[in-house]
């Protein structure tokens, strides 16, 4: 899932002053690493341009959705009851392990490593229109980087992006099979 920042200013009746999020960039697209619905408000877990050790929950009013497919790495969880119910879609450890989020935001090594692993997987999951390069198909089992001319074995057609193992460039996967549903 990808979102585009429309505003940096959080407007809230609960806050005395509006809050300006200096870390977001207007018109920049961000990957979503989880979603939370709390007290009727939707939040997207995303990383700003200054840090990527853990995602921050940002209100949906700051963004528009540009890629609405949900990550295959997310699980669903609900807690509470009635109008006070919280709903969350995020990677499994966040939900299954007590205090995972607290340990992650305290930069505990294990939790940061888990998040970075999921972040890498989710960053490659869907096509990113801001990236221009596309890997080249060498044959049925191999892709080639057009920048460093390195080749690697990959028949992956599930992810929209690939990373060259030599130069680490992220580029479009020419084998990607989009899962878009066409309504007629």
Better-scored residue on pLDDT, 14 or 117: 117
Quote the CA–CA distance of 71 and 83 in Å, as a whole number.
26
| Region of poorest pLDDT, from 17-26, 84-93, 166-175 | 17-26
Instruction: Give the Cα separation of 65 and 49 in Å (integer).
Output: 18
- Model pLDDT for residues 96-106, shown as the tens digit of each residue: 999 999 999 99
> What digits encode the pLDDT tens for the residues 116-154?
999 999 999 999 988 999 999 999 999 999 999 999 999
β-pair partners for 59: 43
pLDDT of residue 73: 97
- pTM confidence score: 0.84
> 146 by DSSP, 3-state: which?
coil
User: Percentage of the chain surpassing pLDDT 90?
Assistant: 70
Q: What mean pLDDT do residues 6-22 have? A: 66
Least Cα distance to 35 among 76, 63, 72 occurs for 76
């Amino acid at each position: 899932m990808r979102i585009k920042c429309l505003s940096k200013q959080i407007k809230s009746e609960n806050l005395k002053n509006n809050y300006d999020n200096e870390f977001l960039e207007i018109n920049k697209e961000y990957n979503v690493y989880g979603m939370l619905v709390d007290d009727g408000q939707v939040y997207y877990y995303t990383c700003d341009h200054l840090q990527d050790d853990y995602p921050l929950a940002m209100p949906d009013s700051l963004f528009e959705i540009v890629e609405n497919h949900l990550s295959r790495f997310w699980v669903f969880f609900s807690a509470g009851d009635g109008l006070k119910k919280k709903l969350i879609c995020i990677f499994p450890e966040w939900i299954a392990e007590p205090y995972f989020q607290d340990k992650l935001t305290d930069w505990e090594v294990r939790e940061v490593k888990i998040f970075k692993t999921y972040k890498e997987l989710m960053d490659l999951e869907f096509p990113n229109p801001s990236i221009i390069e596309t890997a080249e198909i060498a044959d049925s089992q191999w892709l080639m980087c057009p920048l460093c001319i390195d080749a690697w074995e990959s028949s992956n057609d599930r992810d929209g992006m690939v990373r060259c193992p030599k130069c680490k460039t992220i580029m479009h996967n020419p084998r990607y099979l989009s899962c878009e549903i066409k309504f007629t």
